[in-house]
Chains A and B, each alone.
Chain A
Amino acid sequence: MSGPIRLKTPLTDADVEKLKAGDKVLLNGVIYTGRDAAHKRLFDLLQEGKPLPIDLKGQVIYYVGPAPAKPGQVIGSAGPTTSGRMDAYSPKLMEVGLKGMIGKGMRKKEVVEAMKKYKAVYFAATGGAGALLAKAIKKAEVVAYEDLGPEAISRLEVEDFPVIVVNDIYGNDLYQQGMAQYAR
C-alpha cells in the first residue's frame, strides 16, 4: 500500500475514478455532517420534489453526530457512526450528485450498486477515534436542521481528514477483501 492520496472537495468523477478500495485518503475542504434524522428529511424533500437546504453536487457527507464543543473548541469528539442506517436514503442522495460518504460499517448491496451507477465512493474513518478525528476539523457551523441537536447538518472545513476507501466505483469492498486475507 502506497502513501495517502490528498483530495480536495468537492469531488469530481475524475477524483473518484482513480480511487480503489484500500486507498488511504486525506480529505481537504468542505464536508457536511448528516446522520439518521437529517437523512430522512433530505430524502423526504427529494421525494416531494422540493429543493434541499444544501447542494449535494460533488459533496461528501460524514455520518457523525458530534459531541458538544467545549469553550474554545471547534467541535467536540467527532467520529463516524454506523453507516448501514443511512442505506435506505443514500442511493437517492447519490442520484442528485453526492460523491462521497464517510462512516463505518457495511453497506447494503443496493448502496454499493448505486455507488457504481452514480460514481460515488464510501470511505471509512476510524470508529471510536472521535477525539483524534476532531483535530482535523478546523471549522464547523450548523447550516440546516438546528433543531436536531447533534443530528443537525453542519458544514465542516477539514484538513487532511484521514479516511480509507471501503467501496470504490468498481464494486470492490475492502471489508470483504481484508477479511478474506486474514481469515484462517
Chain B
Amino acid sequence: MREVHASQITEVVKKLCIESNLYLGEDVLAAFDKLEKMEESPVGREVFQQLKENARIAREEQVAICQDTGLAVVFVELGQDVHITGGDFNAAINEGVRQGYKEGYLRKSACHCFSRVNTKDNTPAIIHLEMVPGDKIKITVAPKGGGSENMSTVMMLSPSEGKEGLKKRVVEWVKQAGSNPCPPVVVGVGIGGTYEQAALIAKKALLRPLGQKNPDPELAALEEDLLARINNLGIGPQGLGGRITALAVHAEMIPCHIASFPLAINLNCHAHRHKEAII
C-alpha cells in the first residue's frame, strides 16, 4: 500500500488545469501544419495560420488559448494499492481546480443552471474515477468548452440501423452542427454500452493522441471513412467553407444490450486540450 497525500493531488490538478489551457498539444500543432497544406480554401488556410499564431501567443505569453477555458473534466485512474491520506479525494481535486483557474487567470465558466449565477471558482469539477491495478494515480485534465459540448449528443439507435446507419447519423450530426462547434473539430464517437457509458467512452476517445487509430481494424476503418465523409461536407475551418472540417475521428466501442445500439457523439473544438500526469 502506497500513501499519497491529498495535497499532492491538488498540486497536480492545479498544474494540469493551467498547462492544458495554455499549451496546445504537439499532436494538435502537427495536425494544423499538415492540414493547412491540404486545405484548398484560402480562407480556410488563413484560419489555420491564425490558430497556429494563437497557440504561439498563448504559449509565449502564458495566456489561455481560448477564453472558454471550459468546465474542468478530470479523469482519474486510481491504483488499487494507493491509500489517500490527509483529506478528501474529491475535495482535493476541486481545490486544484479552484487554485489553477485563479492562478492561471482562466475564465470561471461554471454557473447555477436556473439563476445562471457563477460559482466563481470553476468548481465543481467533472470527475471520472476508475480503479486500476497498481500503486499510481494517473490524472488527466481535459477542459471542455461550452460551444463544442453543446453540439454533442447521445442517440439510442435501433440495431437494425447497423454500421452504415450509424455512420450516416454521425455525418448528419456533424453537418447540422456546422460552424457552431469551432471546426476543425475532433469527433469523439462512443458506440455501445448503456446511455451514460456511450457518452463517457465518446469523451474518453477524445483523449487519444490526435489521429492515432483505434487498434481494432474494423473501428480504424470506420474512423477513416467517417473522417473522409465529414470532410466532404465542405464545412471547413470555422465553417467558412473548406476541405478540412475535422482534425480526426476517434471511435470507441463496447458491447451493448441485445435490444440496443447506443451512439454518442462528443464534439471537441480545435482547441483540443488535455494534459496528464502520474503521481
A binds B: yes
- Closest-by-CB residue of A relative to B237 is A126
25 intermolecular pairs with C-beta atoms under 8 Å apart: A37-B116, A65-B68, A68-B107, A76-B64, A77-B107, A79-B66, A81-B146, A82-B150, A84-B180, A105-B147, A126-B54, A126-B238, A127-B182, A128-B54, A130-B67, A131-B57, A149-B108, A149-B120, A150-B118, A162-B50, A175-B178, A178-B239, A179-B239, A180-B234, A183-B233
A150 CB, nearest partner CB in chain B, Å: 5
Nearest 9 CB-CB pairs, A to B?
A: A178-B241, A183-B234, A182-B234, A105-B180, A127-B182, A132-B54, A129-B54, A77-B67, A130-B67
**When the two chains form the complex, which single residue of B42, B63, B234, B238 contacts A77, counting CB atoms closer than 8 Å?**
B63
From known contacts A69-B105, A127-B147, infer whether A77 and B232 are also in contact, taking CB-CB under 8 Å. no
Residue of B nearest to A125 (CB): B238
Knowing that A68-B105, A128-B269, A182-B40 touch, tell me 11 more A-B residue pairs with CB under 8 angstroms: A77-B58, A105-B147, A126-B51, A127-B66, A128-B182, A129-B66, A162-B50, A164-B43, A179-B235, A179-B236, A180-B234
Given the complex, which residues of A lie within 8 Å of B43, measured CB to CB?
1, 22, 164, 178
Q: Beta-carbon contacts of B243-265 to A below 8 Å, as 1s and 0s?
A: 10000000000000000000000
Contacts A68-B105, A179-B239, A184-B234: A124 and B179 contacting too (C-beta < 8 A)?
A: yes
A: interface residue count bin: 35 or more
Measured between beta carbons, the chain B residues less than 8 angstroms from A151 are 118
Contacts of A144 in B (CB 8 A): none
